[in-house]
Amino acid sequence: MPIVVDIDVMLAKRKMSVGNLADRVGITPANLAVLKNGRAKAVRFATLAALCEVLKCQPGDLLRWEAEDAAGG
């Protein structure tokens, strides 16, 4: 998947746990883990906005696009 999720980077910068972030955003730790590990198929804008509000960041700090290899894509 060419979309990379960098929630773990922001968690480390903010010195925050997954459980604490999940509580503050209002989602389950399991759902946050699915998103954080790049296994989510979609994310609601409301969830993305809540993540940005809690982490005090921009959506681009959490999500980025990486081109896939021609051989692996």
Per the confidence metrics, is the pTM higher than 0.85?
yes
Provide the pLDDT for residue 72.
56
- Residue pair 49/43 in contact by the 8 Å Cβ criterion: no
List, for residues 25-72, the tens digit of each pLDDT value: 999 999 999 999 999 999 999 999 999 999 999 999 999 999 887 565
Q: What dihedral do alpha carbons 71, 41, 48, 18 form, nearest 10°?
A: -90
- Residue pair 61/55 in contact by the 8 Å Cβ criterion: yes
Q: Which two tokens stand for residue 58?
A: 């921009």
List, for residues 6-35, the tens digit of each pLDDT value: 999 999 999 999 999 999 999 999 999 999
